[in-house]
């Protein structure tokens, strides 16, 4: 499953295949730089003057390095409501898979693709021109031509959100261990230090490259401290310290990305909507403080990720309607005065891989959507580790 949950909170680990499941683990166009012209010297010839003899030796010139052009703002219109699915880079880059999936999305009323830009393993989904990504070997050609893929998705009427896994990044961890939280082996679960602004810069460079390629939205995932407690990081530091660095990164992201015309969201653990006020679960996530900064929060309200008895529900996995309704009711209650459009939760469209788990199909998935609708929440995102998604549903017709 995606996003390992804290053992004490009975949350599960990630298995990469799109915010709740597993994703299987494009080239930006070259930047065109305007020609540089050298301004006239103060000693240049003026009208009526005699032309002096040309110097025998040309004056040396200093080459001006080419500067990348910043992305230009683009007018975008967010679908209302926004109904999305997670899409792994590998699935998006496979024509025989993505074509039929897009056809199904259109028929089912799905209008948003949440595309992995950087997945849980730290790999990008395209061969970017980001120097650090090249240096650390993070580029991977899952999608052959990212701008082309996004353009084609737009032509089909889809809004494209780019998902970036921020703090869990084994490639960056191994290449820049001093930027990380000590004590991780450098494998699939290796966390960067949320207060390190070099980590911020790298992820914002990825976001800006994706905006230049055409995405409409940036969604930050794993924007947190690890469940593992480390002295000086998320043990004995205080919630204000931890939340301050998470919110600080998101404020910086909003400062850089909003002028480009994109939507910015953040994914949070499901329990962040209902823990005691001020309790960040030692991972730095505070639902109210985050939703006050970003355009929306993607609460990971997967019923299978809640402990037995949560919200007074014997087995949340077997009660998808009740679990999602209780979780999001807490979110709305915690954020009075906040537009309901800022709540865009992830819901479950997969069967949890354990003995005795409820098999999820149309009734279970649509039950979660109905729970949201009864709360006045019309925006949601589906997570399915296989990217196959439940057929036989029409999300435009929720009873």
Compute the residue count for the chain.
Answer: 399
Give pLDDT, residue 184: 96
Give pLDDT, residue 87: 98
Mean pLDDT of the chain: 87
Q: What gap in Å lies between CA 164 and CA 204, rounded to an integer? A: 9
Strand-pairing partners, residue 269, are 300
Q: Please indicate, yes or no, if residue 394 is contained in any of the structural domains.
A: no
CB 385 within 8 A of CB 351: no
CB 302 within 8 A of CB 320: no
112-118/159-165 β-pairing: parallel
Q: Please indicate, yes or no, if residue 261 is contained in any of the structural domains.
A: yes
Q: Annotate the chain with three-state secondary structure.
A: CCCCCCHHHCCCCCCCCCCCCCCCCCCCCCCCCCCCCCCCCCCCCCCCCCCCCCCCCCCCCCCCCCCCCCCCCCCCCCCCCCEEEEECHHHHCCHHHHHHHHHHHHHHCCCEEEEEEECCCCCECCCCCCHHHHHHCCCCCCCCCHHHHHHHHHHCCCEEEEEEECCECHHHHHHCHHHECCCCCCCCCCEECCCCHHHHHHHHHHHHHHHHHCCCEEEEECCCCCCCCCECCCECCCHHHHHHHHHHHHHHHHHHHHHHCCEEEEEEEHHHHCCCCCCCCCCCCCHHHHHCCCCEEEEECCHHHCCCCHHHCCCHHHCHHHHHHHHHHHHHHHCCCCCHHHECCEEECCCCCCCCCCCCCHHHHHHHHHHHHHCCCCCEEEECCCCCCCCCCCCCCCC
Q: Note down the domain range covering 314.
A: 7-25+73-383
> Does 259 have pLDDT greater than 90?
yes
CA distances from 28 to 32, 67, 120, 136, 158 (A): 12, 16, 22, 18, 20
> Does 74 have pLDDT greater than 80?
no
Q: Tell me what percent of the residues of the chain surpass a pLDDT of 70.
A: 81
Candidates 287, 302, 272, 269; CA nearest to 382 is: 302
Q: Please indicate, yes or no, if residue 159 is contained in any of the structural domains.
A: yes
Q: Please indicate, yes or no, if residue 46 is contained in any of the structural domains.
A: no
Q: Band the pLDDT of 18: cuts 50, 70, 90.
A: very low
pLDDT tens track for 274-326: 999 999 999 999 999 999 999 999 999 999 999 999 999 999 999 999 999 99
With tokens 């240096």, the residue in question is 135
pLDDT tens track for 336-371: 999 999 999 999 999 999 988 999 999 999 999 999
Q: Please indicate, yes or no, if residue 231 is contained in any of the structural domains.
A: yes
Region of residue 178 (left: phi > 0; alpha: psi -120 to 50; beta: else): alpha
Give pLDDT, residue 24: 36
Q: What gap in Å lies between CA 7 and CA 364, rounded to an integer? A: 26
Q: What gap in Å lies between CA 389 and CA 364, rounded to an integer? A: 12
The dihedrals phi and psi of 291, each to the nearest 5 degrees, come to -65, -25
Q: Band the pLDDT of 100: cuts 50, 70, 90.
A: very high
CB 323 within 8 A of CB 301: yes
Read off the pLDDT of each residue in 199-205 and give the average, rounded to a whole number.
98
Give pLDDT, residue 41: 35
- The CATH number of the domain holding residue 309 is 3.20.20.80
Read off the pLDDT of each residue in 6-23 and give the average, rounded to a whole number.
35
> Does 64 have pLDDT greater than 90?
no
pLDDT tens track for 229-242: 999 999 999 999 99
Give pLDDT, residue 66: 52
The dihedrals phi and psi of 352, each to the nearest 5 degrees, come to -65, 130
Domain count along the chain: 1
Q: Please indicate, yes or no, if residue 48 is contained in any of the structural domains.
A: no
> Does 32 have pLDDT greater than 80?
no
pLDDT tens track for 120-166: 999 999 999 999 999 999 999 999 999 999 999 999 999 999 999 99
Q: Band the pLDDT of 75: cuts 50, 70, 90.
A: low
CB 115 within 8 A of CB 215: yes
Q: Please indicate, yes or no, if residue 30 is contained in any of the structural domains.
A: no
Q: Please indicate, yes or no, if residue 389 is contained in any of the structural domains.
A: no
Candidates 382, 392, 396, 326; CA nearest to 113 is: 382
């Amino acid at each position: 499953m995606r996003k390992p949950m804290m053992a004490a909170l009975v949350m599960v680990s990630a298995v990469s295949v799109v915010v709740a499941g597993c994703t299987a683990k494009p080239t930006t166009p070259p930047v065109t730089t305007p020609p540089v012209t050298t301004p006239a010297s103060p000693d240049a010839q003026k009208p009526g003057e005699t032309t002096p003899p040309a110097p025998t030796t040309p004056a040396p010139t200093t080459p001006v390095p080419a500067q990348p052009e910043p992305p230009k703002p683009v007018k975008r219109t967010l679908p209302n409501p926004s109904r999305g699915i997670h899409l792994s880079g590998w699935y998006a880059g496979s024509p025989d898979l993505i074509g039929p999936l897009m056809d199904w999305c259109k028929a089912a009323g799905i209008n948003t693709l949440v595309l992995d830009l950087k997945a849980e393993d730290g790999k990008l989904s395209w061969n970017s021109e980001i120097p650090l990504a090249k240096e650390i070997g993070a580029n991977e050609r899952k999608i052959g031509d990212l701008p082309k893929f996004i353009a084609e998705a737009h032509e089909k009427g889809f809004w494209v959100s780019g998902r970036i896994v921020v703090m869990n990044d084994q490639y960056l961890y191994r290449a820049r261990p001093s930027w990380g939280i000590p004590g991780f082996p450098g494998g699939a679960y290796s966390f960067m230090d949320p207060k390190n602004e070099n980590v911020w810069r790298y992820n914002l460079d990825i976001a800006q490259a994706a905006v230049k390629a055409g995405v409409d939205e940036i969604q930050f995932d794993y924007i947190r401290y690890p469940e593992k407690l480390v002295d000086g990081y998320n043990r004995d530091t205080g919630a204000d310290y931890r939340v301050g660095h998470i919110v600080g990164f998101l404020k910086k992201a909003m400062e850089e990305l909003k002028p480009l015309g994109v939507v910015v969201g953040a994914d949070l653990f499901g329990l962040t909507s209902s823990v005691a006020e001020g309790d960040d679960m030692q991972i730095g996530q505070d639902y109210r403080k985050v939703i006050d900064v970003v355009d929306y929060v993607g609460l990971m309200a997967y019923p299978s990720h809640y402990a037995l008895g949560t919200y007074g529900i014997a087995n949340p996995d077997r009660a998808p309607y009740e679990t999602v309704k209780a979780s999001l009711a807490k979110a709305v209650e915690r954020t009075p005065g906040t537009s309901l459009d800022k709540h865009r939760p992830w819901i479950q469209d997969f069967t949890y891989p354990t003995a005795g788990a409820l098999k999820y199909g149309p009734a279970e998935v649509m039950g979660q959507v109905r729970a949201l609708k009864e709360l006045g929440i019309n925006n949601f995102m589906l997570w399915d580790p296989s990217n196959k998604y439940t057929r036989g549903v029409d999300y435009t017709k929720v009873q």
